[in-house]
Amino acid sequence: MANIYPYGCFTHAVVRCIPESFGKLAEGGDGFQTDLAKAQRQMGVLTGALRQKVGLQLIEIPADSELPESWRIEDIAVIQGDTVLITRPFKQQRRLEAEAVRRVLNELNLTVVEMGDEEGGSGGATLEGSDVLFTGKEFFVGISKHTNHRGAEVLANTFKDFAVSTVPVCGGSRLKSICSMGGPNTIIISSSDGAKKTLRVMEQLTDHHYEILSVPEEVAANCIYIRGPAKVDYLLHPTAEECPNSIPAFQRLTDYTLLPTACSEASKLGGALSSYCLLINKKSNY
């Protein structure tokens, strides 16, 4: 089918700057004091890595303090090839975040598909990008508090070429909290019991075989993998300070350029590295 590249081929990244209201509406629970300046610094490191080290085109959407969670741009859209599905997050307030994102993606000439609102016929479907794992060959949608079966259905209808499988999210609040792609054929997954359960389901449902990289610390399960222009494998992963025991696992990946990137403040709010960005492949395909 068209537009099928091995996972990791990206040309652009879209991020949204951290708003002043960062951390004010703590999702992860109370008592999590977040440091705004630190969060902004960490984001800066991430965007710097994407732009300078990996070589992606970076698009930054200005912050909006009315939308404290707008930095978690991953939730707002699911992108594959030329097609974007604008999602419908669980929280009502978050749905306003889509506006700016939509504009940017339209400018990039992508085909934007709207999930729509209640009246628009989505019928109570909710979907957040951080519950979606695209492996390059298929989609896994984690059914969680934020994403329901109907939301997964909308995704399946949007990306017709691919198998879309639903999996339970165990041992984390979102699918991407417990797993992410670590290579064209590699899934990084937390070694917690819950994550193992989710993995078992994934393995049962798939027709493909993936390498599994298991990491002891949950935060390490979320990384960003990109195959750079010169066919170099880049992996952005949490720092040694955040996940000391997982670093050896990353080092097992042969010939990878490892880019430790802190995400402590995001983690406090239930986010992760991948929450920060939307990755797009704008190569002229076919």
Partner 1 sequence: MTTDAGSESDVQKTEAQPSPPQHFPASGHGSPDTRHQYCTEGQSEGSSSELQQQHEDHYISQKSLSSRVSWSALGRSHRLKVMECKVTLLDGTDYTCTVEKRAKGQALFEKVCDHLNLLEKDYFGITYRDAEGQKNWLDSSKEIKKQISTGPCNFAFSVKFYPPDPAQLSEDITRYYLCLQLRDDVLSGRLPCSFATQAVLGSYTLQSELGDSDADTQGYISDVRLAPNQTKELEEKVLELHRSYKGMTPAEADMLFLENAKKLSMYGVDLHRAKDSEGVEIMLGVCSSGLLVYRDKLRINRFAWPKILKISYKRNNFYIKVRPGELEQFESTIGFKLPNHKAAKRLWKVCVEHHTFFRLVSPEAPPKRFLSLGSKFRYSGRTQAQTRRASAQIARAAPQFQRTASRRHTVTASMDSTPASVNHDDDVKNSKPAVATDDLIDTATPEKKAEEMNSVEEENKTNSDESEQAPPTSVTKYSFIKRIKGENVFVKHSNLMLEETDTPTELMQHQLNVSELKRSFLEMRCEASGVNEWDRRLSSSPRLCPRLDELSSVKPLVWSQEMSEEDKAEPEDVAVKPDHGVEQSEEPVKDVPVVQTETKTITYESSEVDANGDSDPGVLMSAQTITSESNSTTTTTHITKTVKDGISETHIEKMIVITGDTDIDHDQALAQAIKEAKEQHPDMSVTKVVVHKESEISPAEGDA
Helix, strand, coil share of the chain (percent; to 5): 35, 25, 40
Q: Does 215 bind partner 1 (CB under 8 A)?
A: no
Q: How many whole angstroms separate alpha carbon 248 and alpha carbon 105? A: 37
Which one of 41-49, 85-93, 199-207, 225-233 is the stretch in contact with partner 1 (CB under 8 A)? 199-207
Q: How many whole angstroms separate alpha carbon 113 and alpha carbon 116? A: 9
Q: Does 160 bind partner 1 (CB under 8 A)?
A: yes
Residue whose CB is less far from partner 1, 50 or 141: 141
Q: Does 24 bind partner 1 (CB under 8 A)?
A: no
Cβ burial of 196 (10 Å; 0-12, 13-18, 19+) is: middle
Residues 117-156 that bind partner 1 (CB under 8 A): 138, 141, 149-150, 152-153, 156
At closest approach, how far in Å is the CB of 252 from partner 1? 6
* CA-based nearest residue to 274, from 233, 228, 221, 201: 221
Contact 133, 181 (CB under 8 A): yes
Contact 71, 20 (CB under 8 A): no
Owner of token pair 């699918």: 175
Q: Where are the alpha helices (DSSP H) in the chain?
A: 36-48, 98-107, 149-158, 175-178, 193-205, 247-251, 264-268
Residue whose CB is less far from partner 1, 28 or 116: 116
Contact 3, 132 (CB under 8 A): no
Member of 38, 145, 203, 240 binding partner 1 (CB under 8 A): 203
Instruction: List the end-to-end C-alpha distance of the chain, in Å, as a whole number.
Output: 9
At closest approach, how far in Å is the CB of 223 from partner 1? 14
Which one of 57-65, 79-87, 231-239, 261-269 is the stretch in contact with partner 1 (CB under 8 A)? 79-87
Q: Cα dist. 261→51, 59, 72, 188, 211 in Å? A: 14, 19, 16, 16, 23
Member of 214, 222, 274, 275 binding partner 1 (CB under 8 A): 214
Q: Does 209 bind partner 1 (CB under 8 A)?
A: yes
At closest approach, how far in Å is the CB of 97 from partner 1? 26
Member of 200, 229, 240, 244 binding partner 1 (CB under 8 A): 200
Q: How many whole angstroms separate alpha carbon 260 and alpha carbon 8? A: 18
Which one of 27-35, 127-135, 159-167, 270-278 is the stretch in contact with partner 1 (CB under 8 A)? 159-167
Q: Does 213 bind partner 1 (CB under 8 A)?
A: yes
Member of 19, 23, 68, 81 binding partner 1 (CB under 8 A): 81
Residue whose CB is less far from partner 1, 122 or 275: 122
Strand order in the sheet with 83-86: 77-80, 83-86, 111-114
Q: Does 230 bind partner 1 (CB under 8 A)?
A: no
Q: Does 159 bind partner 1 (CB under 8 A)?
A: yes
Residue partners of 160: CB distance under 8 A and separation at least 6:
none
Residue whose CB is less far from partner 1, 11 or 264: 11
Q: Does 205 bind partner 1 (CB under 8 A)?
A: yes
Footprint on this chain of partner 1 (rule: CB under 8 A): 1-4, 81-83, 111, 138, 141, 149-150, 152-153, 156-157, 159-168, 189, 191, 196-197, 199-201, 203-207, 209, 211-214, 252, 285-286
